[in-house]
Structure 1
């Protein structure tokens, strides 16, 4: 969860739930000075006051020269012809590498529009509408999938790829006429030998990755058994919901744009040579917007590697709800709606929930009085409180 959400949880634990500065600092692992600052900002300015403030300058007096304009247009044409990303941010990165003054991405966008090099897409979903997640460390999660390409004679072949979720490093990309479960197991085993076991994997529900939808309930295929042997957590997207594997789906767009700028290969061997060239370019030469314009190779080597025993990312969030007639409120946890029992004595009451990983503290939204505390159990729907305020108080 973002730092702004953590800031809000800390501030509201003091202002709305009555914790002392020292108690909040100890509970959330921050300094008392920081808690004091957050409380002051929250009391004076509300939620907006604890959000990170932009440090960007209010204006840029530099003007865009004709030399820069011409280079923007030239880069766009070259990148498109090579099948590479050619958006304003990518162009800005190349301008900086070449020593040019870099205008804002909105200025680059205007230059491209004026030159007729941008096709309007008014129905395209805005980036702000996507929910973004990313593993905290390299090897925190590997995404894998199989896509396809064609040979010059029209033969359709399959391409298997593994992508590191944190760094976007392309761990491997290989072509075969048809991938079997045994083939995928062999590739995964080799990757574990090369890079070490990841903490988790994320794939779709293809039969090479999971047997969960076969006619044998509870059966495990070779890939699942290999993960279990290394204590690797297996994650699978929901059926017919490819957005869960968004990074590798987006990667396939980059791959096919690059392949589409080149002639179709005559054989699997020629296709593999193309894929090897692509992998080198993608990992070591292409700037990636999602990792601060570093290359995946740079991002992968910048931090220590997660392991199957790595602790998961800390979660902080808040939620308000009204206690129903049965004395319960609801909360989504581990992708499912859970029912938290507060007590029928509080029916109709507006409550505030502060969520910290699997710990939930519920208080009266009007008074800040803490009513119940929970440690959530992902195997159960109904959650009983670990502590409840006595009714006599």
Structure 2
């Protein structure tokens, strides 16, 4: 049985099978470091290779006591095939002919019909209607070149549970693969809550190069000269870029917005949840299905898990020390995030309270770039009488 130490405890049988499946698929990616994946899943190499061997021998069936082998059909228009198509549609009412066809092929069903034939089956059995069909809004598609180059993070809109408390779903998505790294039922949107869940994800998947967020709390503040918060300062200490999207421009978070729409349509809409534990018990299998089974249009109908592998950058349990090179002057901020330079007081942000900042000339007369660790967080004008740092056009560029 997979064991996940502090972050994952008391898993039921389904959860164990789900985690085993995710482990073997990540460890089976070409070029994957199996030892590193074992460490991220907090299992021994012996246990990891055992599940890899069982998976290679029997596929998903080797990870569970129940057989997961799909049925094969003699005829693409047989009653058995139609029942299979309708069962997939009933389980996933927003899926159309293309997605169902991709799922049947993934299940190695013989003689899978064309998407148009599957659509005809759905229409013939009354499964296609205005209510059941997904109303698509096209997005301009772009993506990073490899997994873990960029994660996107946001909260899905809150909803009230049966206990009259609110759930705030925290979602974390890999930009390249659309792999849903995290779908967490949170009771609030505060920094300690988000930070602990990020630690759990970092331990499991490693560190990304960058994380893209909006400007709302706990990862952004439009009232801060640099937009940064204590959460993003912590991420920068881990050498993770923080990219704040353009204010009031949600299209920049298109993948997260699209994921939220899918989550609402396939899981949240017209459903009731008792409390956070019950909500999470519904989130976990849906996330597994989204990653492992649901064909994705933007991936040529591949599943996200087929495009994702864990990061080679492992999470450090202790924050690493950081020292600026000789090219920087350094200043330590006070509790308000202020520091003195050239006889004047400048304000970075309370996010950098009592931290060392690095300053170096920008090449423009009187303008100094201000860095926190590797990242430029703002600029100051030596010719002024102090005040807040100004935010440069591209604060997410790492220093050379």
TM score, norm. by length of structure 2 = 0.52
Quick one: distance in 1 between partners of 2:184 and 2:127?
Answer: 34
Structure 2 unaligned regions, length at least 5: 1-73, 315-391, 395-400
Matched, 1:82 2:91: yes
Shift of 1:78: 2.9
Which residue in 1 is equivalent to 2:239?
231
Matched, 1:179 2:189: yes
Give the counterpart of 2:198 among 169, 185, 188. Answer: 188
CA deviation string 1:301-347 (max 9, x = no partner): 3x87689xxxxxxxxxxxxxxxxxxxxxxxxxxxxxxxxxxxxxxxx
Give the counterpart of 2:258 among 245, 250, 253. Answer: 250
Give the counterpart of 2:295 among 287, 295, 317. Answer: 287
CA 1:78–1:107 in structure 2 vs 1: closer, same or farther (change >3 Å)? closer
Quick one: distance in 1 between partners of 2:293 and 2:136?
Answer: 28
On the 8 A contact 2:189/2:217 being kept in 1, the answer is: no
Shift of 1:146: 0.7
On the 8 A contact 1:82/1:258 being kept in 2, the answer is: no
| Helix, strand or coil at the partner of 2:77 | helix
Cα RMSD of the aligned pairs, angstroms, is: 3.4
Shift of 1:279: 2.4
CA 1:100–1:135 in structure 2 vs 1: closer, same or farther (change >3 Å)? same
Q: Which range moves more in the overlay, 285-294 or 135-144?
A: 285-294
On the 8 A contact 2:150/2:209 being kept in 1, the answer is: yes
Give the number of the structure whose alpha-carbon radius of gyration is greater: 1
| Helix, strand or coil at the partner of 1:264 | coil
On the 8 A contact 1:137/1:306 being kept in 2, the answer is: no
CA 1:225–1:123 in structure 2 vs 1: closer, same or farther (change >3 Å)? closer
CA 1:174–1:72 in structure 2 vs 1: closer, same or farther (change >3 Å)? same
Quick one: distance in 2 between partners of 1:304 and 1:184?
Answer: 20
On the 8 A contact 1:209/1:221 being kept in 2, the answer is: yes
CA 1:124–1:256 in structure 2 vs 1: closer, same or farther (change >3 Å)? closer
Give the counterpart of 1:198 among 194, 197, 208. Answer: 208
CA 1:158–1:136 in structure 2 vs 1: closer, same or farther (change >3 Å)? same
Structure 1 unaligned regions, length at least 5: 1-64, 308-377, 381-393
Shift of 1:290: 2.6
Matched, 1:150 2:153: no
Which residue in 1 is equivalent to 2:111?
101
Quick one: distance in 2 between partners of 1:112 and 1:83?
Answer: 12
Q: Which range moves more in the overlay, 65-74 or 159-168?
A: 65-74
Quick one: distance in 1 between partners of 2:168 and 2:204?
Answer: 23
Shift of 1:101: 2.1
Quick one: distance in 2 between partners of 1:137 and 1:196?
Answer: 14
| Helix, strand or coil at the partner of 1:68 | coil
Aligned positions of 1:59-138 closer than 5 A? 68=77, 74-75=83-84, 77-83=86-92, 85-96=94-105, 97-119=107-129, 127=138, 130-138=139-147
Quick one: distance in 1 between partners of 2:177 and 2:230?
Answer: 27
